[in-house]
Structure 1
Amino acid sequence: FIKWTLCAVGLGILIFLFPPLYGEGYESLGVLLNGQELSLDGQTPLAFLTDSPWSVPVFFLLILLLKVFSMTLTNAGGGVGGTFGPTLFVGAIAGFVVARTLNLLFDGTLMSVPEQNFVLVGMAGLMAGVMQAPMTAIFLIAEISGGYDLFLPLILTSTISFGTTRIVEKYSIYTKRIAQRGELLTHDSDQAVLTLLKVSDVIETDFSTVKIDDTLGRLVEVISESTRNIFPVLDSKDRFQGFVSLEDIRKDMFRTDEYETLHVFNFMRSAEEYVYEDEKMDSVMKKFEETSAWNLPVVRRDRTYVGFVSKSKIFSAYRDELKVVSQD
């Protein structure tokens, strides 16, 4: 409640001082696109700033900077700040500030730039960078302007914005979180297949388990009833402790005189790595590569034993999934 209150008060103060920050900003966009002056008389104590020519770009520059904080307060307070609307708004304000500053600097003597066009180009530039969709930005703004007179400036601005953003950020605002979770499907078939594969699909659970304090006799009995050559070792709470390989016990299997003196912990090996049942497949493959293991145990976060995952099972599932992806 305290967080919500602080965000509400902060946002209220910002909107009180800078009314264009309210909502998605479409009303202010309409005014700028029509080439009109935004009148703030009676709406804010700072309305006097728009009386001076140079105060206008300064006022809108403050709006441009404070929009970031208003969106942050909105999201932190539980609201939805949006993406598309604020992107267009910030781009339009940036274009307007640049155009108005140039016009004030040259005062119509050397040149005069059309502020409406700069508003449109600014919208396209920010959209191409934030959403990493330059073609969408170009044609959408071209349609908004009702023609293709600005086509070349839109292409140049969107291309530069997209290229610059791509250098420092690989993903757009829409795909970044999905990519961080490892769930983003791309045109890379190998990566797409690894993203689609889940550990739960390749877990093998038909391994016979033994307790860490079981005797050699009990271990031999379990081996005689199993078709596997790996035997997971668990404690009394079914937490994975290690495993026994058939190769490790082969020499002692027929030493009946030691069936009651030797125990499982005398033959147990520790696992080089663990695989968690909710782990991403690309992480699992890295563990196989680093350990050179052929089988790795699958456990829950509290180390409760689930099963094993093997390279052969993953490769088989990979081939099947790759066929599906290739057909699509």
Structure 2
Amino acid sequence: MGLRMNSIEEELRYLEKWFIIAVLIGVVSGFAAIIFHLAIDYSIQLFLKWLAGYEPPKPGMESSIPIIPENKLLLFLIPPLGGLLSGFLVFKFAPEAEGHGTDAIIESFHYKEGIVRSRVPLIKLIASALTIGSGGSAGKEGPVAQIGGGFGSFLAQLLKLNPRDRRIALIIGLGSGIGAIFKAPFGGAIFASEVLYMMDFEPLSIPPAFIASLVSYVIMGFFEGWDHVFWAPDLASKVYVLYDPPTLTFFALLGILNGAMGILYVKIFYSVRDLFRKLKKVPRTLKPAIGGLVTGLIGVFYPQVLESSYGWLQMLIRGDFTYMPLQTLILLPFLKILATAFSIGSGGSGGVFAPALVIGGSLGALIWHFASSILPGYDVPIAAYVIIGMMSFFGGVGKVPIATMLMVSEMTGDYELFAPSLIATTLSYIITGNFTIYESQVFSRAESPAHGESKVGLLRIIYNKLKVEDPSLLVKVRAKDLMVEAMAKLNCKSKIAQVLDLMKKYPYRVYPVVDDNNRFMGFIALEDIVIRAPRRSNIEIMLLPIERGVTVREDDTLATVLEKMIENEIDKIVVIGEDFELKGIITLKEILKLLVSTKIRVKIR
């Protein structure tokens, strides 16, 4: 009871510490989201409507009909103009504002102690409004994450918070910005915690992120209204058909397709990015304009790829194919990937979330077409497929399945799809594997410099590096080549008093335990012996808690050794022979010695 009370008191102190900071971050993020939203609207009016004569459709309850100019050649010229202005602004004043924003915040969290230069949020806001407003295929998520996160970092530096708290303030700002701009306070807060890792969360950020995200959402709602970003039909009356075996099968197919397309998205995006970085003779300020030319060229023939494309996505949710014939729908995911890669990968400023929703939503519409064609009278609304496509595509490619399902549910108001979406999102997440659109993500907190790389985290980095640089080493080297003698093994029949001298000589955290025939029995922790030493020094080791331990055979490969250590989250493993005889032990130290001997460098970042 006392421990529980202490825990509650600690949580209350934690909330008291962060409440005012979270509210301040939420207020600024909310107003910044409003300004950013208006800046994009005015930019679209200036570049696309007034200069090019193109008015894209809008999402929401009162979605509009697109106005496409007769002279589409103007659409070819406007994106490079926006890219030119954006490129000059970014590379002249804040080069770190290029690209897709969210990744820059993730990088700052892991590698820069949560520090963002104070000028970055303003430059990011203007540059992104220019990129998106001129037709660049990008979204609001990255910019608003960098704007909110940038203020969180600024406030933390102003208050002279330590690096740990500065990082938390940074991602509180990220979450509150997302929560405001997409009117998704719950999903935004979870997104901030989940997006940092491929398979983990940052739990300390969640309570204050909820507060900040709620505050920013309320401010956005008062100024922009409380309607969802997308209008979607009420699917409550169709719940019974969403769980039919054929429909669930099609959702699974959608998840598989989204996983495959997610890998393509990542590969193309970063291939284009790397291509532009290799163009050393081209001034950086001009590269976004070149990317804009490619986007504009696509836009001349398929204006559906320009800007965020949310209005076109809304038309798919409504089932309106007036401007979206099947042949266009088939091409749209591929064209949107290309347009996004050239708009952002060239150095333009914008987010990757909106394009991902459009790609996933259009793939969902294609699967719905397929289902309708083979099942006459199929009455599941297309909205179900489009929305689940949105969830599953970004859930997989962004490695944020939970946050994405929450955010899209909040953006559309269709919470009935949360459960059916689990099938598609899980499959997409599994298929994309280590492919992620956020290259600064690390696997888990164990690999993050923000938490100090653990030994297990370092083992994972070593394993991944060897798979790329010297895969033959993983097969050639055997456990017997790495193992060393276990100098500090304890006999199970020894008494505590008898092993204390050995433990003083070898002060390890755990010790291997063997029987009289040198057969490995497991590991015993130092604290389990020390705690009992003063009072029960005559007790035998075998009567203390002994963990079973993980073992490998002498002929097992280095790959097997590393896989078992990573899977079981241990930094030492026992090598056994026949009849479980203890042959030796392998620790991180032995693996690092191997890397030194082979001259393979392990670089964390």
Between Structure 1 and Structure 2, the one with more helix by share is: 2
Give the number of the structure whose alpha-carbon radius of gyration is greater. 1
> What TM-score, normalized by structure 2, do the two folds share?
0.27
Higher normalized contact order (CA 8 Å, seq sep 6+, divided by chain length):
2
> What TM-score, normalized by structure 1, do the two folds share?
0.47
